[in-house]
Amino acid sequence: MNFNEQLKKIRTYEAGKPIELVVRDFGIQTKDIVKLASNENPYGCSLKVQDAVSKIISKMAMYPDDSMMNLKAALSNRFGVNEKNLIIGSGSDQVIEFLIHAKANSSSKILMNSVTFAMYEIYAAHVGATIIKTTSQEHDLEQFYELYLKEKPSIIFLCTPNNPTGDAIDAQELFEFIKKIDDDTLVVVDGAYMEYALVKDAKKEVKPKELISNFANVIYLGTFSKAYGLGGMRVGYGIADTKIINELYKLRPPFNITTLSLEAATVALDDEEFVNDSIVKSFEEMKRYEEFAKSKNIEIIESYTNFVTLCLDDLKSSTQIANLLLQKGMIVRDLSSYNLNAIRVTVGTKEQNTKFFELIAEIL
Amino acid sequence: MNFNEQLKKIRTYEAGKPIELVVRDFGIQTKDIVKLASNENPYGCSLKVQDAVSKIISKMAMYPDDSMMNLKAALSNRFGVNEKNLIIGSGSDQVIEFLIHAKANSSSKILMNSVTFAMYEIYAAHVGATIIKTTSQEHDLEQFYELYLKEKPSIIFLCTPNNPTGDAIDAQELFEFIKKIDDDTLVVVDGAYMEYALVKDAKKEVKPKELISNFANVIYLGTFSKAYGLGGMRVGYGIADTKIINELYKLRPPFNITTLSLEAATVALDDEEFVNDSIVKSFEEMKRYEEFAKSKNIEIIESYTNFVTLCLDDLKSSTQIANLLLQKGMIVRDLSSYNLNAIRVTVGTKEQNTKFFELIAEIL
């Protein structure tokens, strides 16, 4: 059977090794496995959220409220934007899918950082768009602008803080950059880790309200998967001018998040204390990674997120290090597929991080 | 801002009115609202499933096992097919999305029944494919074959039992039809309500294993949203030859169902007693609808599902009837958007159905 041409170029995406497969493949018991690979919130999720979801367990048979009335009201309140400026996705991933399918096709170009969130490229491949990348590891907005002028992309992705490196763009520089972009180019500001960045450095905070009241061609992406501790519930959102939101809505399938996810995300916005505590603890623990890296002479990228990227020297291969850790039940992210000889490690709980330092010391 | 050409033709899909909006718009209390509009399982979901999900509530922060090892093993066991013949979607809707994006584009044709599940047409519009429909209300496989010969579609959708009408194709006729279709045409057999059909009439049972061992160009779709009572958890699946599954996998985003959904669906397959009880009770209650229709001289389509379609005469408009019921807190599905002067009513619990008969008697 023949399939669409663009599928020939797509390789199947493989997510990081789940705990279930480490148990099966290495015979390690679940309790002895530590996963610091997917930047989940190591403190789990808010007890208020757990309580609220427990109370509606019997509603699993019922489709969710497809108007997402309560969640939209809560997000609207949180960001000071109108509900009509919001779209909810199954993770912010799905909003990326909507916007690429709405704006790009096989004759489009999509501009992104050399190293950035993998889903941009994956969804771009689905529509057969051409991917243009900068050469700089950090977002170099001058280079972005040069490539914008030269290539005339339909979409520009800016990921701040950036995944998988952890660095962030100054909000003011970001605004100056967007001012120079024409109205027909969609600029995506992916703030999946923004909650962390703004605690560390106020200059990095990109406020969605400010963004969309200044620019009709920008969409801000946020997620409940990181600081809000709901990675397993698949809820993200886009905030933009209604002209953009209305088009994306045409591509949104009904009931795109679960009944329990809707409740979880709505209540999560009501427990900022949990979120703030997680972030403060994460940056406290991050210091140990910085000290560790210094003591071992390993380069570390300054991170505005809940993960750190350890750049290895040429004597050690990140793939080998990640595999050796895996065999000891420690799951981290090898960045070799991003052409980096580096591993990305989620800043875990105190105990998890201690275990990481112990295990990596045995290897290095 | 300009968007892709095909978006101009897409209207935003509006799902049936959720309970939350009836509360808000008509000031009716939640406890007084009965929703018989979305064919959810009125008996909720299995207590075993509720118990299992309750136990992993604290895992909401963790991404799901993206290999879906346990769910695939359970489905493989249930249907006697290899795990490599399976793909899981966020509802079977998402598998429809994958297959349309994999096989169709703006120069493709997609053949479907005149009245059938709305998502086929919605996803077809996303890729700008041309939709070809039969004229018969029930699936007329001779007409399907004539149109197949004439139009050379890339995909043929067969929905059995059919939504929103409830009728079903004999499995043997379905097999005879597929035999005549060339290898490069993808035939989709959507069995979302199959669990109901096979209890009512064994001749309607399409066995996925038999289907895929005979045909390399067929995909069978199933869902946990109906008989399994997990409409709110968004889990469906496709079963097909690996050559098809591998291509669809290229379009599957990672983590496309939630951590709790994965557990719910896996455990649901372990409680067939709940499913069978629900189905038996549903057909028991359906008799009351048949008697009601007979007494009121309303035509009813023989249904192999958990819903009934009441065809109104020209003196009454389905939109008006549905609206009058809505104002009384009874949500049913007006089928006027399918060009039918009919309402679709989920067969609810005894109490819900009694309330339906009371309220509609006040109107008719």
Q: Which of A262-266, A268-272, A312-316, B324-328 has the lowest mean pLDDT?
A: A312-316
Does the pLDDT at position A20 exceed 80? no
Nearest chain A Cα distance for residue B360, angstroms: 23
Are A69 and B24 a contacting pair at CB < 8 A?
A: yes
Does the pLDDT at position A13 exceed 80? no
Q: Please give the model's pTM, rounded to 2 decimal places.
A: 0.96
Tell me the two tokens of residue A6: 């663009």
Does the pLDDT at position A335 exceed 90? yes
Tell me the two tokens of residue A117: 């969130």
Are A94 and B253 a contacting pair at CB < 8 A?
A: yes
Using alpha carbons only, give the angle A47, A51, A55 rounded to the nearest 5 degrees.
170
Are A231 and B58 a contacting pair at CB < 8 A?
A: no
Are B58 and A69 a contacting pair at CB < 8 A?
A: no
Quote the strand ranges of A106-208, DSSP E: 109-112, 130-133, 155-159, 186-190
Chain B residues inside the 8 Å CB shell of A93:
253-255
Nearest chain B Cα distance for residue A138, angstroms: 25
Give the pLDDT band of residue A28 (cuts 50, 70, 90). confident
A251, A278, A306: best to mutate for the B interface, most B CBs within 10 A: A251
Chain A residues inside the 8 Å CB shell of B45:
58, 60-61
B71, B97, B251, B274: best to mutate for the A interface, most A CBs within 10 A: B251
Are B15 and A244 a contacting pair at CB < 8 A?
A: no
DSSP-based three-state secondary structure for A317? coil
CB atoms within 10 A of CB A23: 16
- Under DSSP, the state recorded for A57 is G
Distances in whole angstroms, Cα of residue A152 to Cα of each of A220, B72, B283: 21, 44, 60
Tell me the two tokens of residue B262: 């994965």
Q: Nearest CA to B48 among B280, B270, B275? A: B270
Nearest chain A Cα distance for residue B339, angstroms: 21
Buried/exposed A86-96: b ≥16 CB within 10 Å, e otherwise: bbbbbbbbbbb
Are A40 and B62 a contacting pair at CB < 8 A?
A: yes
pLDDT along chain B (364 residues), means of 10: 90 75 82 93 97 97 94 98 98 97 96 96 95 96 98 98 97 98 98 98 98 98 98 98 97 96 98 97 98 94 97 90 93 93 97 96 90
- Chain A residue with the nearest C-alpha to that of B106: A4
Residue among A45, A54, A231 whose CB faces B63 most closely: A231
Tell me the two tokens of residue B60: 């909401």
The maximal CA–CA distance of chain A, rounded, in angstroms, is 57
Q: Specify whether the CB–CB gap between B247 and A3 falls below 8 A.
A: yes
Give the pLDDT band of residue A16 (cuts 50, 70, 90). low
Chain centre distance of CA B240 = 18
Chain A residues inside the 8 Å CB shell of B275:
none
pLDDT in tens, A168-178: 999 999 999 99
Using alpha carbons only, give the angle B5, B8, B9 rounded to the nearest 5 degrees.
110
Chain A residues inside the 8 Å CB shell of B65:
18-21
- Chain A residue with the nearest C-alpha to that of B46: A58
Q: How far is Cα A266 from Cα A261, in angstroms, rounded to an integer?
A: 8
- B293 residue type, one letter: A
DSSP-based three-state secondary structure for B273? helix
The predicted model gives A247-260 an average pLDDT of 96
- A12 residue type, one letter: T
Q: Specify whether the CB–CB gap between A269 and A75 falls below 8 A.
A: yes
Nearest chain A Cα distance for residue B191, angstroms: 18
Chain centre distance of CA A132 = 20
- Chain A residue with the nearest C-alpha to that of B108: A4
Q: Specify whether the CB–CB gap between B93 and B122 falls below 8 A.
A: no
Nearest chain B Cα distance for residue A294, angstroms: 30
Portion of chain A with pLDDT greater than 70, in percent: 99
Chain A residues inside the 8 Å CB shell of B119:
253
Q: How far is Cα A289 from Cα A300, in angstroms, rounded to an integer?
A: 9
Q: How far is Cα B350 from Cα B333, in angstroms, rounded to an integer?
A: 19
Portion of chain A with pLDDT greater than 90, in percent: 90
Q: How far is Cα A137 from Cα A116, in angstroms, rounded to an integer?
A: 9
Q: Specify whether the CB–CB gap between A180 and A145 falls below 8 A.
A: yes
Sign of dihedral through CA atoms A11, A236, A154, A110? negative
Chain centre distance of CA A347 = 15
- B255 residue type, one letter: F
The enclosing H or E element of B99 equals helix B92-103
Q: Give me the residues paired with residue A186 across strands.
A: A155
Chain B residues inside the 8 Å CB shell of A2:
184
The predicted model gives A266-274 an average pLDDT of 97
Quote the strand ranges of B123-269, DSSP E: 130-133, 155-159, 186-190, 218-223, 236-240
pLDDT in tens, A71-87: 999 999 999 999 999 99
Using alpha carbons only, give the angle B162, B168, B172 rounded to the nearest 5 degrees.
130
Chain A residues inside the 8 Å CB shell of B61:
40-41, 43-45, 229-232
Q: How far is Cα B56 from Cα A184, in angstroms, rounded to an integer?
A: 46
Distances in whole angstroms, Cα of residue B61 to Cα of each of A43, B24, B171: 8, 32, 44
Q: Nearest CA to A99 among A240, A230, A257? A: A240
Are B7 and A217 a contacting pair at CB < 8 A?
A: no
Q: How far is Cα B324 from Cα B74, in angstroms, rounded to an integer?
A: 44
Chain centre distance of CA B355 = 25
CB atoms within 10 A of CB B179: 9
The maximal CA–CA distance of chain B, rounded, in angstroms, is 57
Chain B residues inside the 8 Å CB shell of A15:
63, 66, 254-255
Chain B residues inside the 8 Å CB shell of A84:
none
The predicted model gives A118-140 an average pLDDT of 95
CB pairs under 8 A between A and B: 232
pLDDT in tens, A182-192: 999 999 999 99
What values do phi and psi take at A228, rounded to 5? -75, -5
Q: How far is Cα B75 from Cα B59, in angstroms, rounded to an integer?
A: 23
Chain B residues inside the 8 Å CB shell of A18:
63-67, 69
Nearest chain A Cα distance for residue B296, angstroms: 31
Amino acid B16: pLDDT: 66
Q: Nearest CA to B192 among B234, B216, B220? A: B220
Chain B residues inside the 8 Å CB shell of A12:
246, 249-250
Q: Which residues contact B203 (CB under 8 A, 6 or more apart)?
A: B170, B171, B172
- A6 residue type, one letter: Q
Distances in whole angstroms, Cα of residue A333 to Cα of each of A35, A299, A304, B76: 9, 16, 18, 30
Nearest chain B Cα distance for residue A315, angstroms: 32
CB atoms within 10 A of CB B13: 17
Q: Specify whether the CB–CB gap between B57 and A53 falls below 8 A.
A: yes
Specify the higher pLDDT residue, B359 or A23: B359
Nearest chain B Cα distance for residue A247, angstroms: 7
- Chain A residue with the nearest C-alpha to that of B10: A250
Are A246 and B12 a contacting pair at CB < 8 A?
A: yes
Q: Which residue in this structure is represented by tokens 């000031």? A: B27
Q: How far is Cα A329 from Cα A250, in angstroms, rounded to an integer?
A: 44
Chain B residues inside the 8 Å CB shell of A97:
253
Chain A residues inside the 8 Å CB shell of B40:
61-63
Q: How much helix, strand and coil, in percent to the nearest 5, is found in chain A?
A: 50, 15, 40
Q: Specify whether the CB–CB gap between A284 and A277 falls below 8 A.
A: no
Amino acid B247: pLDDT: 96
Q: Specify whether the CB–CB gap between B119 and B268 falls below 8 A.
A: no
Q: Which of A27-31, A51-55, A225-229, A355-359 has the lowest mean pLDDT?
A: A27-31
Nearest chain B Cα distance for residue A161, angstroms: 20
Strand order in the sheet with B130-133: B86-89, B236-240, B218-223, B186-190, B155-159, B109-112, B130-133
Are A253 and B70 a contacting pair at CB < 8 A?
A: no
Nearest chain B Cα distance for residue A94, angstroms: 8
Chain centre distance of CA A44 = 17
- Under DSSP, the state recorded for A145 is H
B47, B63, B107, B122: best to mutate for the A interface, most A CBs within 10 A: B63
Q: Which residues contact B349 (CB under 8 A, 6 or more apart)?
A: B42, B43, B285
